Amino acid sequence: MAALKEGGCFVVSMADISAARDRIRPFGIRETPMHSSTTMDTLSGHELFFKCELFQRTGSFKARGATNAAALCPPGMPMVTHSSGNHAQALAFAARATGRAATIVMPNNAPAPKRAATEGYGATLRLVRSEDRASAAALAAEELGAELVHPSEDPRVIAGQGTVALEALEQVASSLGMTGHQQPLDVLVIPVGGGGLLSGCAVCCKTLWPELVVVGAEPLAMNDACRSKRAGELQGNKAGATTIADGLRTQVTTHILGLIKLTCPATTRTVGPIKRIFSGLFLASSALTRGQWFATCATLYLRLTRTIS
């Protein structure tokens, strides 16, 4: 797999994403459905498509990247990561699927259900203070002679996450009866936490359809990606900042920001203006749909009838 560093970032190609899709299927990673909603179309004034990754193994898109990374590891080599939830479960699943051990470093305040689910896939947990998890994971990998798989800052993970967009583009085109010469979507909205999903999907979309606008979305209280992209360097979140969107509390990292900058020079729109989701909007959306659609759809796809400025 090509994963060179250029300009301080990982380089992931469309070939990597296509290969990842073929690589992860034998290990149980499935194509997830794309749904639409007449109610949401009416409220928004646009034609919306929802890529429902809650139906993926472990309940999130994270299983894609983790399984791709596991499949590329030498047979039998144990794996280590740090995560408080979705990636923890995903790597535990991937380790079991590929016949290897997994050790997951989790913050000691991680929700009990997520800890139980991770152990349920056969992983060994190490609980540490939240601020110590990255260093503890590095020490565990060295101690165990294991492969360290970062939740987002890993080209194998990024390529796996990019399969979400690859599937979605094909599904929308098929549902609308489009030919291979017609762009299936106008805009792709990707939630941003660590940035692995955004990076992989941006590479996929802009390789296949250069005019497709990719927008990163994050909570206003945790908008480090928005501020980092604007400043051209990493910007942290305020101490104590939090959001109801707990899956988006992680921050983008150096190589992820580098990839976004590399694939989004000033003359292109690979990753468009990163939109911020106000907590009030998130709560209103959750109330409207009984807390399901936004919390469980990893990615929101929009096919707009007019251009977004």
Which of the residues are catalytic? 62, 84
Contacts of 149 (CB under 8 A, 6+ apart): 66, 69, 70, 79, 80, 81, 91, 156, 157
Least Cα distance to 50 among 240, 300, 304, 227 occurs for 300
End-to-end CA distance of the chain: 36
The stretches of 131-253 forming alpha helices (DSSP H) are 133-144, 155-175, 196-208, 224-231
pLDDT at 57: 95
pLDDT at 271: 47
pLDDT average per 10 residues of sequence, the chain (309 residues): 48 92 97 88 82 92 97 97 92 98 92 92 94 93 96 92 95 88 86 84 90 78 70 67 56 54 44 38 37 37 35
CB-count exposure of residue 37 (10 Å: 0-12, 13-18, 19+): middle
pLDDT at 171: 93
Contact by Cβ (8 Å): 21, 267: no
- What is the number of alpha carbons within 13 Å of residue 251 lying toward its C-beta? 19
pLDDT at 296: 36
CA angle at residue 296 from 256 to 62, to 5 degrees? Answer: 40
pLDDT at 240: 65
pLDDT at 304: 37
Q: Which domains does the chain have, with CATH numbers?
A: 14-61+154-303 (3.40.50.1100), 78-145 (3.40.50.1100)
The pTM assigned to this predicted structure is 0.80
Give the helix, strand, coil percentages of the chain, each rounded to 5: 45, 15, 40
